[in-house]
């Protein structure tokens, strides 16, 4: 891998609520299909209350879409809204030579979009399973709640990048493990007081340009 020069080489981003506006790709599907119903909402409440595991939550949610065309679900995400100036800023960071990583406990559709539209080097997300283009109701868990630090460490090791050469950006409790691993951490659109407390920098706006400004500043200090 050709590395950029300077202290920071890679940037790892959360996706839902950070790069794109929806805070959950799971909920986004439900809402777009008009079935964010009492049952679907209850699954999330049960998980948040610690009454079911993340794996159980994912399986229950995925079962809702059994028999649907995968292309229909993919189409739902074709125009998912980026956060303010996120796409342009990410393209700028890519041109600057940063190794871009996206980690999400959400589904494959936005992650694949980032790889295609922006050129992310590595994306990891969970995946709805299909057979002959039809969703089976199953799900492959590639990254579970609370595992982003562990997954990021593996990725960095594979590409011979040190944690201290990495910047991490996230918005929620689930991003804390990867922010703790990073050489520099940024809280963006934070919905977690704990995340805001441990981050090296807490964004004051919902404009992705602020992230780029901070990264440019700390890189000039290298």
| Residue 151 to residue 178: CA distance in whole angstroms | 9
User: Which of the four pLDDT bands, split at 50, 70 and 90, describes residue 47?
Assistant: confident
Least confident of 1-5, 100-104, 210-214: 1-5
- For Cα atoms 112, 194, 211, give the angle at the middle one, nearest 5 degrees: 50
Global model pTM greater than 0.75: yes
pLDDT band with cut points at 50, 70 and 90 for residue 8: very high
What's the gap between Cα 143 and its chain centre?
A: 10
**Which domains, and CATH codes, for the chain?**
10-26+78-220 (3.40.50.1000)
Of 30-39, 95-104, 130-139, the poorest mean pLDDT is in 30-39
Query: Averaging pLDDT over each range in 50-54, 56-60, 209-213, which range is the top one?
Result: 209-213
Angle between helices 86-95 and 209-220 (to 10 degrees): 30
Under the banding of pLDDT at 50, 70 and 90, the label for residue 36 is low
Q: Among 29-38, 75-84, 136-145, 168-177, name the one with the lowest average pLDDT.
A: 29-38
For range 45-64, the mean pLDDT: 86
d(CA 102, CA 99): 10
Mean pLDDT of all residues in 21-31 = 89
Q: Specify whether the CB–CB gap between 96 and 4 falls below 8 A.
A: yes
């Amino acid at each position: 891998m050709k590395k950029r020069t300077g202290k920071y080489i890679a940037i790892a981003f959360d996706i839902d609520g950070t790069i794109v506006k929806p805070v959950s790709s799971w909920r986004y599907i439900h809402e777009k299909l008009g079935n964010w119903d009492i049952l679907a909402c209850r699954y999330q409440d049960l998980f948040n209350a610690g009454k079911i595991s993340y794996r159980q939550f994912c399986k229950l949610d995925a079962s809702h879409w059994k028999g649907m065309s995968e292309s229909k679900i993919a189409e739902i995400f074709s125009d998912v809204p980026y956060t303010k100036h996120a796409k342009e800023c990410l393209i700028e960071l890519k041109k600057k030579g940063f190794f871009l990583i996206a980690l999400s406990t959400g589904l494959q559709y936005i992650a694949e979009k980032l790889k295609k539209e922006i050129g992310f080097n590595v994306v990891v997300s969970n995946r709805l399973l299909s057979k002959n283009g039809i969703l089976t109701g199953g799900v492959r868990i590639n990254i579970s709640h609370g595992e982003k630090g562990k997954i990021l460490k593996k990725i960095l090791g594979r590409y011979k990048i040190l944690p201290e050469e990495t910047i991490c950006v996230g918005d929620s409790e689930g991003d804390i493990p990867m922010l703790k691993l990073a050489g520099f951490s940024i809280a963006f659109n934070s919905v977690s007081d704990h995340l805001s407390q441990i981050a090296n920098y807490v964004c004051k706006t919902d404009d992705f340009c602020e992230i780029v400004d901070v990264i440019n500043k700390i890189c000039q200090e290298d």
